[in-house]
C-alpha cells in the first residue's frame, strides 16, 4: 500500500489538442508524489515498493445531464470526469492524511490545469483507510528497495 486507482471518462484518451490527457504521465506524477511523502518526523509515509497507481477508462458512463449544458455553453468535447481513490493501510495520523491528500490534489490539478481552463471536467479525490477484514500480500518488488548497504 498505497494503491491509487483512477477511473476516468474515456473521452480523456485523446490527444491534448482534442481535449484529452496523457493518463500515463498522470500515473507517473502521482506515483512520484506518493513516494515523496514524509511524515512529521521526516520519514517516508509509504514504502516505495508498495506504491501502485492504476488508471482505467470507464467502459460506460454518464456525467450530469450528459453534456447538454456544456454543449449550450460551447463545449463540443463533452464532459470529462476523473475519480481518484487512494487506499492506504491504517496507522497514519490525520495530519499525514491531510498532507498526502493536498499533495495528490496539487499534482492532479497541475496535470489537468489546461483542461480545467478549456473544457468541462470534474475531478474527485478520496482517501480511504482500513480496517481490512483480510489482507494478503505477496511481492518480489519490495526487496528491490531493502538492499543492504555496502560499506
pLDDT tens digits along 95-133: 999 999 999 999 999 999 999 998 889 999 999 997 777
If one compares 102 and 150, the residue with the highest pLDDT of the two is 102
**CA-CA-CA-CA dihedral for 3, 149, 92, 132, to nearest 10:** 50
**Percent helix, strand and coil across the chain, each to the nearest 5:** 35, 20, 40
Side-chain half-sphere exposure of 58, counting CA atoms within 13 A: 15
Residue 151: the pLDDT is: 57
Cα 108–chain centre separation: 7
| Distance, CA of 3 to CA of 53 (rounded, Å) | 6
**Domains of the chain, residue spans:** 3-145
Residue 17 has pLDDT above 70, yes or no: yes
Residue 102: the pLDDT is: 97
Pairing relationship of beta strands 80-88 and 3-8 according to DSSP bridges: antiparallel
Mean pLDDT, rounded, of the chain: 90
Superfamily of segment(s) 3-145 = Macrophage Migration Inhibitory Factor (3.30.429.10)
| DSSP 8-state code for residue 12 | G
Contact 46, 87 (CB under 8 A): no
Residue 27 has pLDDT above 80, yes or no: yes
Pairing relationship of beta strands 80-88 and 121-129 according to DSSP bridges: parallel
Residue 148 has pLDDT above 80, yes or no: no
pTM of the model: 0.86
Q: Give the cell for residue 36.
A: 515523496
pLDDT tens digits along 72-93: 877 777 889 999 999 998 889 8
Amino acid at each position: 500500500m498505497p494503491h491509487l486507482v483512477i477511473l476516468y471518462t474515456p473521452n480523456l484518451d485523446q490527444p491534448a489538442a482534442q481535449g484529452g490527457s496523457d493518463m500515463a504521465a498522470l500515473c507517473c506524477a502521482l506515483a512520484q508524489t506518493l513516494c515523496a511523502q514524509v511524515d512529521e518526523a521526516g520519514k517516508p509515509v509509504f514504502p516505495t515498493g508498495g506504491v501502485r497507481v492504476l488508471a482505467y477508462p470507464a467502459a460506460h458512463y454518464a456525467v450530469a445531464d450528459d453534456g447538454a449544458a456544456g454543449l449550450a455553453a460551447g463545449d463540443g468535447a463533452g464532459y470529462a470526469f476523473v475519480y481518484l481513490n487512494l487506499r492506504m493501510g491504517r496507522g497514519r495520523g490525520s495530519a499525514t492524511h491531510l498532507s498526502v491528500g493536498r499533495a495528490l490534489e496539487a499534482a492532479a490539478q497541475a496535470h489537468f490545469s489546461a483542461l480545467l481552463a478549456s473544457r468541462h471536467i470534474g475531478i474527485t479525490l478520496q482517501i480511504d483507510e482500513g480496517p481490512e477484514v483480510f489482507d494478503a500480500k505477496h511481492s518480489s518488488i519490495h526487496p528491490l528497495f531493502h538492499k543492504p548497504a555496502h560499506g
